């Protein structure tokens, strides 16, 4: 027994054990209430979900406050880490005043409901469409006026959110300060085993590694869109209008690939077309994804997963269709919730979501406070890592392709992936950078929308068409802002997934280009993956990263290696054309 263990106060040990047991029960109850609300949206389920979530927040905040004086010398490393994770376990700390705490949880639930119920009837139609249907128009139409109408129509959904969001910021900050943090943004940044200021510098370092590749991609896309829509709409050297990029938030651009790919070049196959021609049903897409994990030596999902998940949009009720993976009892009640569309995009999304489920199951033997990922970016990165193995060779091995396209055709699929992955990174960074500044008071309610577009121009080189005044609340048109979900995890996952993929591909014995590698069928890679997953949050994330990759620092070199052939091609295409954009209107 170590000195620290010998000197440990038994009252502290008892507090930690009782806190874990209490929060385990309350969290499972809240998960079930939230599942019912997300899959059956009514005023009643909204109220029940808010009530259950409120109980978790109140109990967690109370326990977190009680834990502060207990974090002293003499604790074992395990209990010290549990107390730290307790303080950081919620993205929302309610004020101790019960009236204000209840108000805060009701606001968050209400904002999420506004988002889920959002509809817009495009010009010339009478039917109000949901986000999925509007997104299909945005991804397929090539008519700028129609695109702008659909884009503007969805963003109107967020207008009523501004008063609630403003009050939410005020109350959330009050709760965070009671826990000893300057504001909620500082609390979020403290979750990464680094001081908040150092973490802010770390994400900017990672962005600086990939920004040159993003600017090259942006320049190429801007020039091709200028050729398609006219330079009066897409001027050389300027930002790209957000509604022309095929995605409601311009966070991924793969839907406009037909406007961008070189003539005569292409991936050689259309996975969506293949799936539709085979009359593939939504549930079969999930079965295929499960078989990927089984091929790594991991166990099949429990039967309850198939009985209790939501796979398709119900016809009789409102649901939150945003894809998500759930662990309702923090043991083995694993589920996914999504409205599956038989498409290449959802084929990859399902592989991603099951990555979450397998992570959840791998750490289910850890103490409750450690039943989470090393940091939240790890959870997202694991799912994305699996999706990177959805290669032509993998599709051939599972019978969806007859032949693998020749490597000479790799530029088009790399471009398509860059339009998804690289295009996302600045958006993934700025969403929380904007919220950090909102929480700190640097951005006031009077400038919410203006500052949102200033930062989108700075990081993404993207701008709206026309004026977006302060009567709008465009940040709320993004689910994660409306639902109080921190977003930095997605930026970090955008870097880590390539670091994970390269390491696992090498473990699987892949010796070719990393962008062609798949770990499908490799038990060696599966063992390495599961070993890291089973650690949960029991150790600081550099330990988990080292277990997976042998490295202790997040690094974008694997991403740059993955896209190196595309970078060379973009350099050739951009020669003689402007790169970058003005940061001022």
Catalytic residue, candidates 8, 102, 146, 480: 480
Count how many residues are written for the chain. Answer: 585
Closest of 575, 568, 259 to residue 414, by C-alpha: 568
375 is catalytic: no
Catalytic residue, candidates 155, 351, 352, 379: 352
Catalytic residue, candidates 37, 490, 520, 562: 490
For tokens 């079930």, what's the residue? 32
Catalytic residue, candidates 323, 479, 561, 564: 323
**Phi and psi, residue 227, nearest 5°:** -70, -35
Closest of 469, 468, 480, 471 to residue 434, by C-alpha: 480
Catalytic residue, candidates 155, 218, 356, 515: 356
Cα 521 from chain centroid (whole Å):
27
356 is catalytic: yes
The Cα–Cα gap between 495 and 309 comes to 30
Answer for the pair 190, 88: CB distance below 8 angstroms, yes or no: yes
The Cα–Cα gap between 89 and 26 comes to 13
Give the CA distances from residue 188 to residues 165, 202, 421, 488, in Å, rounded to whole numbers and listed in that order. 17, 14, 24, 9
523 is catalytic: no
CA-based torsion, 540, 544, 493, 298: positive or negative: negative
Closest of 39, 38, 34 to residue 53, by C-alpha: 34
The Cα–Cα gap between 364 and 299 comes to 14
Neighbouring residues of 467: CB distance < 8 A, sequence distance ≥ 6: none
Answer for the pair 468, 526: CB distance below 8 angstroms, yes or no: no
Number of other residues whose CB lies within 10 A of the CB of residue 69: 7
The Cα–Cα gap between 167 and 276 comes to 47
Tokens of 388: 């990177």
544 is catalytic: no
The Cα–Cα gap between 477 and 135 comes to 13
Catalytic residue, candidates 103, 290, 353, 472: 353
Cite the active site residues.
Answer: 322-323, 352-353, 356, 380, 480, 490
């Amino acid at each position: 027994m170590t000195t620290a263990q010998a000197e440990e106060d038994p009252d502290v040990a008892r507090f930690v054990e009782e806190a874990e047991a209490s929060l385990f029960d309350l969290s499972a109850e809240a998960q079930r209430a939230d599942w019912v609300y997300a899959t059956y949206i009514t005023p009643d389920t909204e109220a029940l979900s808010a009530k259950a979530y409120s109980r978790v927040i109140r109990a967690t905040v109370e326990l977190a406050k009680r834990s502060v004086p207990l974090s002293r010398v003499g604790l074992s490393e395990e209990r010290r880490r549990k107390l730290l994770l307790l303080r950081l376990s919620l993205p929302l700390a309610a004020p101790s005043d019960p009236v204000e705490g209840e108000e805060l949880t009701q606001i968050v639930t209400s904002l999420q409901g506004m988002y889920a119920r959002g509809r817009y009837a495009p010009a010339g139609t009478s039917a109000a469409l949901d986000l999925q249907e509007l997104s299909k128009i945005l991804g397929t139409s090539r008519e700028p006026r129609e695109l702008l109408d659909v884009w503007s129509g969805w963003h109107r959904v967020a207008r009523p959110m501004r008063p609630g969001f403003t009050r939410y910021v005020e109350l959330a900050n009050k709760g965070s300060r009671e826990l000893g943090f300057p504001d909620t943004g500082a609390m979020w940044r403290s979750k990464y085993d680094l001081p908040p200021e150092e973490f802010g510098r770390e994400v900017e370092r990672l962005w600086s590694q990939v920004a040159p590749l993003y600017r090259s991609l942006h320049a190429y896309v801007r020039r091709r869109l200028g050729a398609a829509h006219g330079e009066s709409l897409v001027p050389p050297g300027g930002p790209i209008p957000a509604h022309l990029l095929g995605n409601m938030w311009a966070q991924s651009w793969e839907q406009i690939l037909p406007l961008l790919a070189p003539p005569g070049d292409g991936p050689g196959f259309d996975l969506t077309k293949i799936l539709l021609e085979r009359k593939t049903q939504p549930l079969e897409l999930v079965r295929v994804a499960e078989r990927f994990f089984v091929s790594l030596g991991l166990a099949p999902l429990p039967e309850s997963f198939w009985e209790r998940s939501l796979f398709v949009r119900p016809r009789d009720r409102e649901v939150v269709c945003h894809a998500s993976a759930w662990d309702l009892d923090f043991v083995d009640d694993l589920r996914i919730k999504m409205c599956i569309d038989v498409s290449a995009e959802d084929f990859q999304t399902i592989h991603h979501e099951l990555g979450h489920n397998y992570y959840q199951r791998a750490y289910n033997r850890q103490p409750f406070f450690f039943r989470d990922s090393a940091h939240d970016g790890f959870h997202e990165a694991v799912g994305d890592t699996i999706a990177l193995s959805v290669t032509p060779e993998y599709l051939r091995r599972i019978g969806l392709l007859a032949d693998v396209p020749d490597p000479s055709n790799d530029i088009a699929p790399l471009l398509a992936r860059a339009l998804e992955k690289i295009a996302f990174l600045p958006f993934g960074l700025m969403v929380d950078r904007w919220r950090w500044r909102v929480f700190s008071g640097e951005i006031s309610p009077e400038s919410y929308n203006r500052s949102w577009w200033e930062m989108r121009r700075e990081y993404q080189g993207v701008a709206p068409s026309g004026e977006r005044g302060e009567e709008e609340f465009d940040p709320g048109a993004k689910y994660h802002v409306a639902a109080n979900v921190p977003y930095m995890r997605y930026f970090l996952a955008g870097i880590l997934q390539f670091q994970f993929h390269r390491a696992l591909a090498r473990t699987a014995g892949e010796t070719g280009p990393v962008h062609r590698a798949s770990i499908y069928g490799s038990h060696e890679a599966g063992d390495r993956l599961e070993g890291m997953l089973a650690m949960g949050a029991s150790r600081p994330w550099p330990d988990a990263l080292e277990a997976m990759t042998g490295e202790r620092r997040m690094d974008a070199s694997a991403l740059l290696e993955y896209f190196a052939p595309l970078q060379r091609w973009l350099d050739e295409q951009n020669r003689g054309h402007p790169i970058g954009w003005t940061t001022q209107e």
